[in-house]
Structures are given as structure tokens and as C-alpha cells.
Amino acid sequence: MNIKHTDITTIIVLNKNKQHTKSLQIKTKHLNRLWHYGFGILAVVVCLIGGILYLKHQNENKEAEKKLLMAQLIKLKGAVAAPKADKGVSAQTYIQSIQLKLQQINEYLRKRGLKGFSTKGVGSSGAADGAKLSDKDVYLNYDEYLGRLVSAVGYTPMGYPRISSFTSFFGYRSDPFNTGSAEFHPGIDFKGQKGDEVKCTANGSVVFAGWYGGYGNCVRVAHGNNLETLYGHLSRIIVKVGQQVAVGEKVGEVGSTGHSTGTHLHYEVRKNGRPVNPVNFLTLNK
């Protein structure tokens, strides 16, 4: 293609002594668009900086969520410290206080259909064998017991797979594809945008990661106590079968795959293979 003379701008470059010159020929349209190029480069730099700050913020939130439950349990565990003699309070008084807190935790778990943690033989159950234990042995037993409790709670689904409002609840509802009929909805739906991260609500092992019928792209994670969580309609899956995942770890991204009318996260909690109401697992205070 022939370029007209007026389409070319000649730039003359002089050295310091102005003895030697060089000329550059540049298309005039590029000079006219110079500020466009500058603005484009600036926009890319701003986007990169914004992306880095966003990822840093997300990582900080993830770490905070991981530490929250552990901090609460460590605080409870710290209550096992030996009582000071000058307070005139017996060791059994402290132990009974701890046991009451453990019984309360057990009650919260039982309301979720989970088996409670037995305190029999720990040291303060009133059994004859427990009465023979020294204070030191009682503390050691409680320390071991609380360690098992921390592990068990870590494998119990609790909290939110993503922080957002609900768009649908567990139970019967109008079929979104046929408003004239009803359907059973086995989980709860969280509002979200495509690409929003979806987090695992307990430690466990990925038992399914792929297309799962009406659930579309789906991840299922097996936990303790015969519990399983399901994350459906994902736009992207980032875990694989057999992978060990920790509470708060990202397993996928929100989408609208499968039997879905819009972008959202479908979340289920299953016990012995049957869906149970996930709302009961969103907080211990139930």
C-alpha cells in the first residue's frame, strides 16, 4: 500500500555538537494519537496496582477467617491453666467451669445432629476413677481432650462459603423453571457475581470435582462425622479429587452452570448422604 507524503512526519535528531543529524520517519497518525497511547499505558499500570491491592486484601481476609476459630478454641484451652493457690479456689472449681463450657459446645453440636464429645473419664465427671486423679493428671487429660475437640470442630462445616445475602433457602419452593409447580431445594443459595471466590467451610478431602448433572460444575468435600459439603453452579473449579482442603480455602468460583437461572452459589450440607438444613451450620449459636 502506498503511503502519501502527508502521512509521514520526519523527526530530525541532533547530537550535542549539532554536527551529525539523524532523521526518523513516523506515521503522522501515531504522533496525533500519542496521548491515547500514554493514557492506555497509565490505565494498565493502575489496573495492575489495583489487582495487587485487591489480592492482598483477599489474602488478609482469608487468614483472618482461618485464625478466628482457632483463636477462640485456644482461648478456651488456656482456661486449663493451673489455679493460683493464693486465690483460695480449688482445682475442681476450675475444672467444673471448663466442663460446663464443653457441655455447651456439645449441645450446639447435638442441635446440628452431630454426636457430642463425651467427657466421661476426663477427670471431673464424678466417677470414682476420676476422683483418684491428681490435679496435674486432670489438666493433662483436659489438654488432650481439648486437642481432640479442636480437631473435630475443624472438620465440622461451620460458617459461610462466601459472605453475601441469601437468594433461596432450604426446603420446598416454587420451581424457578416452572412457576406452576413446587420443588424441594436441598440447600441454600448465596448471591454472587461470576468469578467470586467460594471457600470450603471445614477441613476435608475432595471426593468430587466436575460436572454433576443439574448442579453444573460442582465440588463435594467429605468431612468427619459422616458430613459432606457441596458447592454447585461454579464457573470454575480449582481443586481435584483426592486433594486435602482446609477451612477457608478456595475451592472454586461463583457461576451459573447446570440447572440455574442466574449467577449464584448453591451450597449444601449432607449427613450420611442426605441433605440437612445448612442454616443450622452457619453459626455455633443455634
What pLDDT does residue 129 have? Answer: 53
Q: For the whole prediction, is pTM greater than 0.85?
A: no
CATH classification code of 166-281: 2.70.70.10
* pLDDT tops 70 at residue 24: no
Q: Name the residue ranges covered by the structural domains of the chain.
A: 79-154, 166-281
Segment 239-251 shows an average pLDDT of 95
What pLDDT does residue 85 have? Answer: 44
- Most confident of the following: 143-152, 158-167, 172-181, 248-257: 248-257
* pLDDT tops 60 at residue 106: yes
What pLDDT does residue 197 have? Answer: 95
* pLDDT tops 80 at residue 228: yes
What pLDDT does residue 3 have? Answer: 46
Segment 55-65 shows an average pLDDT of 75
Q: Which residues make Cβ contacts (< 8 Å) with residue 121, sequence separation at least 6?
A: 127, 129, 130, 141
Percent of the chain with pLDDT over 70: 65
